[in-house]
Structure formats: structure tokens, C-alpha cells
Amino acid sequence: MRCALISVLLLAAASQAQAADPEAGKRKAEVCGACHGLNGISVSAEIPNLAGQKAKYLTLQLEAFKGGSRKNALMNAIAAQLDDADIANLAAFFSGLPGAGGGTATSEMPAKVATTRVRFPDSYKTTFTAYTKINFPKKKQVRTYYANEIALAAARAGKPMPHGAVFFVEVYKTKLDAEKKPVMGDDGFLVADKLAAYTAMEMQPGWGRDIPEILRNGDWNYAVFTPDRALKPGVNQAKCFACHKPLTDTSYVFSLKQLQDKARMKN
């Protein structure tokens, strides 16, 4: 009886493996390529390689991300959109690729995911509205948020963000005390020290057309700029897409409520 049961389980497992479609997995894996490389070799040391991993291992990890037992904001958002067939096909595809050493990295990323259309809004100080400030003590940062008039008008009217909306953020490193902890000001905000970067999100017609649906945030694009206002090299906006993906009810904007509050105050 036990042997018969084992045989049934093995046959079921074999049948499931045969049902997986590596070619379908390859098509689906385009979105994975933004972080894990088009060839399954990751783009940075902090991201694992997928090429050559065992299919069962990959399946279990994707199922764990989907179910939430394994926590990672980016992967939880992606895996939640995968069905059982997607998971099986992805596992079959990546397990069939030649593996690489742990120190190997790749520069192969899907250009349409990695490339942004956002440009630095030179006049933001005079034409945008500063609507909130947020502390990030773990990152030892404080950030000031701006929105252009199109975004502000939509927030005032209680409407979804339209094309032409732009959000812009100044990211500052904080002053540190003798124990290397961020210094809190009397206003309740961490005390800004040096400008570290700018971040931006902008929505224009057609900007989401080439982004895979599993990542697409409508027509939004994202960007990071250096303190001298140049696009920061090597930024992977797929991480931005995945992080904002669950925010469909707020036009993919984390700080929409703060903008709405500011818009009502200015009304």
C-alpha cells in the first residue's frame, strides 16, 4: 500500500513537472530580468541568482512570497500576481539555465524597465508645492515632498492623478549626535544635513505601454537624481514599480493623503 502511494506521488510530481512550460516561463521572466538578469544572473550582489536553481526550490520560494510567509516588499507584490502555472513555468525556465558562481553579476536588464523618461524639473522650487515632510530614522534621512499644480488640482478635486502629474522629493541625510543617531528638531522632524539625492515620479501618456503588466503602474515612470541633478546611474526603476504596484487605490502614490490635506488647506 505504501509503495503504491509513493508511486502515485512520484507520478503526480512527474506530471506536474512535464506540465511546466519553460518557454512560457521565459516570456514571463522578462519582468524578473530587471533584478535577476535576463540570463538569471543577478544585477547586484544583494540579489540572488536564479539560473540553475532547482525547480522545486524556486517554486517553494515563489509560493512563500505569494502567501506572505516570506517577507520582501518587492517580491510579495510580484508573486501575488502569479498563478500556479506561472510559478511552475518560471521555475522550469530558470532551473534550465546554466548556473554561475556566487560572485558573478550581469549587466543584462530589460531596457524598457530600467530606462526612465523622467527629467529633472528645474523650476520645482517656484512652480511646485511643498506638501509634506517625512522622517526615515532607520535610513538616517528626512525627505521633503513636492507636487506640481496638476497633481495638486487633482488632489483638491478628489480625483485620481491625471497625466502630467509630477511628484518630487528632496532626500537629505540627517545630522547625527555623538552616538551616531539622527538628531530630532523642535518641529518633530529630523534635522537635515546634506542633500543626498532627489527622487521623482511622473505620469505621461503612453509611458506605461512597454512596461510588463505585472509591474506597470499606469503610465508612471520613476527616477533618482544625484545632488548635482543628474540621473543617478544604475538605478533600477523596477523596484519602484513593484513597491508602488499595490497602491492602485491611491493612484500609486504613497503620500496622496498628505497631498489632499495640503490641497484642502490651500483651497
Give the pLDDT score at 242.
86
Q: Name which of 223, 235, 230 is nearest 118 in CA terms.
A: 223
Helix (H), strand (E) at residue 91: helix 84-95
Question: Does 37 score more than 90 pLDDT?
Answer: no
Q: How far apart are CA 105 and CA 12, in angstroms?
A: 36
Neighbours of 52 (CB within 10 A): 14
Distance CA 30, CA 213 (A): 11
CATH superfamily membership of 124-266: Cytochrome P460 (3.50.70.20)
Collapsing DSSP states into helix, strand and coil, what is residue 197?
strand
How much is the mean pLDDT over the chain?
A: 88
Listed by start position, the domains of the chain span: 19-109, 124-266
pLDDT of residue 235: 83
Q: Is the confidence at residue 185, as pLDDT, over 50?
A: yes
Compute the average pLDDT of residues 124-142. Answer: 97
The CATH superfamily holding the domain 19-109 is Cytochrome c-like domain (1.10.760.10)
Q: How many residues does the chain have?
A: 267
